[in-house]
């Protein structure tokens, strides 16, 4: 009977607790113009909403009496008492805030009163930074991006066709991204976060989760710097940073009073136009000297990337008598490149703060969680969204949802593939043939003929032509089943080679099976590309790349074992044969250059570097990056980079007298590395330290040696363990080695201070490389240069045993 009564009580209580009403309306200024993204919240709670870009708002609450507060930066806050028993429309007109200069005397030539206020705010920075040790909240995020202008075509790509298929108008304008999401967010000081995305809607994608991230929207101007990597090469200085007075000018605008609080309006501008600083207005509460709100922006004058202007609007509200927390953050941006112009915004609205949550730090290994079934329909969002849709957004959702259903149909995908898979001779020559079956998620690729042509003094002109088949088997983690093969034929030595391989995803691991024959580099790191070697051989009579033939069969298994631990194991049987030069053709015949033999240790004699041999080797490798942070998606985990260095250990066993194997050795190596170590304003550093030793070297051939990433030509591919000037082969060792590399990128710290130069956004690079082997002793390189985007120009000097050995310019290109 007791349980029956409880059930009936619960049943009849549902309508009471579930009954919700809407407060809707429009927020305008005194002239009747809409105030975009004004904040609306219930007084003495953390429940709120935001107006949309047209000033329309909707707040959904239960029946009862409320004091509804309307707030927008730059306007006088207004409160409206509501006794809610049904849906109600409340239109609000906010008055432009008037700021008084009372009680402040500004003397000619004297310090602006803003400085005294900002000094107090800076002094309180750490207090408010550490005021809340932990909290949880609910966050709604809305993102919108619009293509404002675009050319009809770009580098042969039909932009008009692509934008039509994406649902944009005939002028190639319209919404290209519209998404909403809700997340539950947890934080524990100093940097532990956990976010669970609980609902999402993406225009044009019926089953997708949103890529909105609450963590990406987090800003905290109580931190000294905002590190917005990608947007800015340098950290951005907060107006209340400890050293902000060195970077900012402040101007006192006046004070206003809201809810008994005196608010100081301060205009902030950079002391130097091109420093990584914000401009705009910051509002500081009197007496407590905390940030009340801010409207800041940064432009391309500060050498930001991708966008011309980025605006940040952050508002705070009191969640209790002591603590103020963020109520909303909005990022608004515009930018353009090559005739394309883009604009948009991301806005987040915060509610239901709990400043005393019961959280276990162990739960923060998972930083993001997205499970299946979070994509919600329109009916859900009508009730849930705190920012009403504009008419344009409603139209975009409706039209693109229909388009998404069409795109998922087999007839549509087949028709799209039929159009895109048409054979074009120019593709066969230059880009390769790519055909796909979108419905089955299958892809075929055939290499371009021009890109498959090569030249070296061993094979002469040769073709190395490949094809592959791949099938997407893990959509979210982008993992494929891949089957590939290639043939290689040298027209001078008449040697035909062919090989094939398969890569099979097995949960966290990948199984690889490969076999066949190939012509490969004697240096297992292959530091010189085939294309660069072809150019030098044909145009400069320099055959740097040294080759041998390998007939092989191998199997490997690798992937993440657990947490930050990755491992791989492989076994390979190979028959290895040194190859002689068979041609000396070169288009040009420079007097100071001549071809060398294919034996790097005896360049004047084309004698075998090693006898034909067989090898059976087992290789084990493990690496640990101290990272136990990960993101969970419906398909599995994705581990995040660690702030600590990565340690790796590698062991190779050459097995003798099995399957005819001639090798007999044990070698071990270890390395520790870390890239992009932030040095604040002074850029970032990277390093690599490695060492290795043959524990047993009873039978070792040159391909089994320890090899290094040398470089002897103008162009190279930069990476942290790469030398600028080292010979490719002469210092490979069958004994032991120690190498070290350090690179520092000043991220424009120097060049940004030089007029005219600063607009190129150049980054200053310093390299130091070191190598010890029993033969080389102490080899050191110093490199200095500049980088623009992914291209760097370096000048390197090398020393061997303290004596200068070589100096040269190098051009690094990262693609």
pLDDT digits (tens, 9 = 90+) for 572-607: 999 999 999 999 999 998 878 899 999 999 999 999
Residue 765 · residue 792 · CB < 8 Å: yes
Residue 466 class from Cβ within 10 Å (0-12 exposed, 13-18 middle, 19+ buried)? Answer: middle
pLDDT digits (tens, 9 = 90+) for 540-550: 999 999 999 99
Cβ atoms < 10 Å from Cβ of 420:
11
pLDDT-wise least confident of 213-227, 737-751, 772-786: 213-227
CA separation (Å) from 145 to 106, 257, 284, 345?
Answer: 44, 36, 32, 7
Q: Cα(57)–Cα(347) distance, rounded to whole angstroms?
A: 14
pLDDT digits (tens, 9 = 90+) for 272-290: 888 899 999 999 999 999 9
Mean pLDDT of the region 776-788: 94
Distance spanning both ends of the chain, measured CA to CA:
74
The residue with greater pLDDT, 426 or 504, is: 504
- Residue 428, pLDDT > 50, answer yes
pLDDT of residue 439: 79
Instruction: Give percent of the chain with pLDDT exceeding 90.
Output: 59
pLDDT digits (tens, 9 = 90+) for 17-42: 346 788 999 999 999 999 999 999 88
pLDDT digits (tens, 9 = 90+) for 484-511: 999 999 999 999 999 999 999 988 899 9
pLDDT digits (tens, 9 = 90+) for 414-425: 776 777 778 788
Q: What is the DSSP string of 365-384?
A: GEEEEE-TT-B--HHHHHHH
pLDDT of residue 10: 32
| Confidence class for position 260, pLDDT limits 50, 70, 90 | confident
Q: Which of 272, 268, 192, 190 is nearest to 234 (CA)?
A: 272
Q: Which of 317, 325, 250 is nearest to 282 (CA)?
A: 250
Using the structure block, give the residue that is written with the tokens 């990584």.
276
The residue with greater pLDDT, 457 or 751, is: 457
Residue 547 · residue 526 · CB < 8 Å: no
What domains does the chain contain, in order, with CATH numbers? 2-93 (2.60.40.10), 673-815 (no CATH)
Computed on alpha carbons and rounded to an integer, the radius of gyration of the chain in Å comes to 32
- Residue 781, pLDDT > 60, answer yes
pLDDT of residue 154: 81
Helix extents (H) in 186-240: 214-217
* Token code pair at residue 87: 């849906």
* Token code pair at residue 117: 């206020």
Residue 389 · residue 397 · CB < 8 Å: yes
pLDDT digits (tens, 9 = 90+) for 671-705: 999 999 988 888 999 999 999 999 999 999 999 99
Q: Cα(765)–Cα(58) distance, rounded to whole angstroms?
A: 53
pLDDT of residue 737: 98
Q: Give the helix/strand (H/E) hosting 464.
A: strand 460-474
| Confidence class for position 107, pLDDT limits 50, 70, 90 | low
What single DSSP character describes residue 430?
A: H
Q: Cα(296)–Cα(73) distance, rounded to whole angstroms?
A: 11
pLDDT of residue 209: 61
pLDDT of residue 108: 62
Helix extents (H) in 431-574: 449-452, 530-540
The residue with greater pLDDT, 375 or 207, is: 375
The residue with greater pLDDT, 462 or 218, is: 462
The residue with greater pLDDT, 334 or 337, is: 334
Instruction: Give percent of the chain with pLDDT exceeding 70.
Output: 95
- Residue 6, pLDDT > 60, answer no
Residue 315 · residue 73 · CB < 8 Å: yes
The residue with greater pLDDT, 517 or 401, is: 517
pLDDT of residue 18: 43
CA separation (Å) from 780 to 192, 664, 740, 794, 796?
Answer: 41, 32, 9, 16, 10
Residue 220 · residue 395 · CB < 8 Å: no
Mean pLDDT of the region 379-400: 88
Residue 671 · residue 645 · CB < 8 Å: no
- Residue 102, pLDDT > 70, answer no
Question: What is the pairing mode between strands 92-93 and 192-202?
Answer: unpaired
Q: Cα(293)–Cα(291) distance, rounded to whole angstroms?
A: 6
Query: Which residues 6+ apart lie within 8 Å of 261 measured at CB?
Result: 285, 286, 292
Residue 605 class from Cβ within 10 Å (0-12 exposed, 13-18 middle, 19+ buried)? Answer: exposed
Query: Which residues 6+ apart lie within 8 Å of 348 measured at CB?
Result: 139, 140, 141, 142, 214, 217, 328, 329, 330
pLDDT digits (tens, 9 = 90+) for 45-71: 888 889 999 999 999 888 889 999 998
Q: Cα(768)–Cα(742) distance, rounded to whole angstroms?
A: 5
Residue 331 · residue 312 · CB < 8 Å: yes
Cβ atoms < 10 Å from Cβ of 435:
14
Cβ atoms < 10 Å from Cβ of 795:
14
Report phi then psi at 252, rounded to 5: -80, 125
Q: Which of 784, 685, 684 is nearest to 742 (CA)?
A: 685
pLDDT digits (tens, 9 = 90+) for 144-191: 999 888 888 887 778 887 788 777 888 888 888 899 999 999 999 888
pLDDT of residue 105: 60
The model's pTM is 0.85
Mean pLDDT of the region 434-452: 89
Residue 312 · residue 231 · CB < 8 Å: no
Task: Output the average pLDDT for the chain.
Answer: 89
Coil vs helix vs strand at 334: strand
């Amino acid at each position: 009977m007791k349980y029956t009564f409880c059930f009936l009580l619960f049943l009849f209580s549902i309508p009471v607790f579930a009954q919700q009403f809407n407060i809707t309306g429009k927020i305008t200024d005194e002239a009747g113009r809409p105030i975009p993204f004004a904040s609306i919240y219930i007084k003495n709670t953390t429940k709120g909403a935001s107006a949309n870009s047209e000033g329309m708002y909707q707040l959904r609450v239960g029946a009862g009496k409320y004091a509804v507060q309307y707030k927008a930066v730059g306007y006088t806050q207004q409160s409206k008492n509501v006794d809610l028993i049904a849906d109600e429309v409340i239109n609000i007109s906010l008055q432009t805030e008037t700021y008084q200069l009372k009680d402040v005397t500004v003397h000619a030539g004297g310090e602006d009163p803003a400085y005294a206020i900002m000094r107090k705010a800076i002094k309180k920075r750490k207090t408010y930074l550490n005021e809340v040790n932990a909290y949880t909240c609910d966050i709604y995020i809305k993102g919108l991006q619009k293509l404002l202008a675009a050319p009809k075509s770009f580098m042969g790509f039909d932009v008009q066709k692509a934008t039509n298929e994406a649902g944009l108008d005939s002028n190639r304008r319209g919404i290209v991204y519209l998404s909403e999401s809700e997340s539950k967010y947890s934080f524990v000081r100093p940097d532990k976060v956990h976010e669970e995305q609980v609902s999402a809607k993406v225009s044009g994608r019926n089953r997708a989760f949103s890529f909105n991230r609450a963590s990406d929207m987090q800003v905290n101007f109580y931190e000294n710097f905002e590190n917005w990597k990608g947007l800015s090469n340098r950290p951005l200085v907060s107006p209340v940073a400890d050293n902000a007075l060195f970077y900012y000018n402040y101007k006192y605008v006046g004070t206003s009073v809201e809810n008994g609080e005196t608010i100081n309006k301060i205009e902030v501008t950079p002391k130097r136009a091109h420093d990584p600083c914000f401009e705009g207005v910051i509002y500081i509460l009197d007496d407590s000297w905390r940030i009340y709100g801010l409207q800041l922006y940064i432009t391309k004058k500060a050498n930001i990337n991708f966008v011309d202007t980025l605006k940040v609007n952050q508002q705070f509200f009191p969640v209790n008598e002591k603590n103020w927390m963020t109520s909303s953050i909005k990022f608004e941006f515009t930018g353009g490149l090559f005739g394309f112009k883009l604009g948009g915004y991301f806005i987040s609205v915060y509610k239901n703060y709990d400043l005393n949550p019961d959280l276990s730090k162990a739960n923060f290994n998972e930083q993001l969680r997205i499970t299946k079934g979070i994509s919600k329909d329109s009916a859900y969002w009508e009730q849930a969204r705190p920012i009403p849709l504009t008419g344009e957004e409603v139209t975009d959702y409706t039209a693109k949802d229909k388009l998404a259903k069409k795109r998922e149909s087999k007839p549509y995908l087949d028709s799209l593939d039929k159009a895109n898979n048409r054979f074009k001779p120019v593709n066969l020559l230059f880009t390769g043939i790519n055909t796909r079956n979108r419905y089955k998620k299958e892809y075929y690729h055939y290499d371009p003929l021009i890109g498959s042509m090569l030249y070296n003094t061993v094979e002469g002109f040769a073709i190395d032509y490949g094809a592959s088949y791949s099938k997407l088997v893990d959509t979210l983690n982008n993992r494929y089943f891949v089957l590939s093969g290639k043939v290689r034929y040298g027209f001078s030595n008449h040697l035909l080679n062919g090989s094939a391989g398969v890569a099979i995803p097995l949960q966290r691991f990948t199984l690889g099976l490969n076999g066949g024959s190939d012509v490969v580099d004697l240096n297992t790191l292959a530091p010189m590309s085939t294309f660069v070697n072809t150019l030098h051989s044909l145009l400069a009579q320099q055959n740097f790349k040294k080759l041998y033939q390998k007939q092989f069969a191998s199997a490997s298994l690798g992937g993440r074992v657990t947490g930050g631990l990755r491992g791989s194991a492989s076994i390979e049987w190979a028959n290895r044969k040194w190859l002689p030069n068979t041609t000396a053709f070169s288009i040009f015949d420079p007097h100071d250059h001549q071809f060398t033999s294919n034996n790097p240790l005896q360049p004047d004699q084309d004698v075998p570097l090693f006898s034909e041999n067989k090898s059976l080797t087992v290789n084990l490798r493990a690496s640990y990056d101290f990272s136990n942070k990960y993101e969970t998606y419906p398909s599995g985990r994705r581990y995040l980079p660690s702030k600590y260095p990565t340690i790796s250990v590698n062991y190779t066993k050459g097995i003798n007298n099995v399957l005819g194997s001639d090798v007999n050795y044990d070698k071990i190596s270890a390395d520790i590395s870390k890239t992009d170590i932030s040095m604040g304003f002074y850029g970032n550093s990277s390093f690599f330290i490695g060492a290795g030793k043959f524990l047993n070297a009873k039978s070792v051939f040159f391909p089994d040696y320890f090899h290094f990433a040398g470089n002897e030509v103008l162009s190279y591919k930069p990476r942290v363990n790469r030398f600028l000037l080292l010979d490719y082969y002469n210092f490979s060792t069958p004994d032991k080695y120690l190498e070290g590399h350090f690179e520092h990128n000043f991220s424009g710290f120097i060049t940004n201070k030089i007029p005219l130069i600063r607009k190129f956004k150049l980054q200053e690079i310093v390299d130091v490389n070191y190598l010890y082997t029993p033969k080389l002793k102490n080899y050191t390189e110093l490199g200095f240069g500049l980088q623009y985007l992914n291209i760097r120009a370096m000048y390197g000097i090398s020393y061997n045993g303290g004596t200068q050995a070589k100096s040269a310019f190098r051009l690094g290109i990262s693609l």
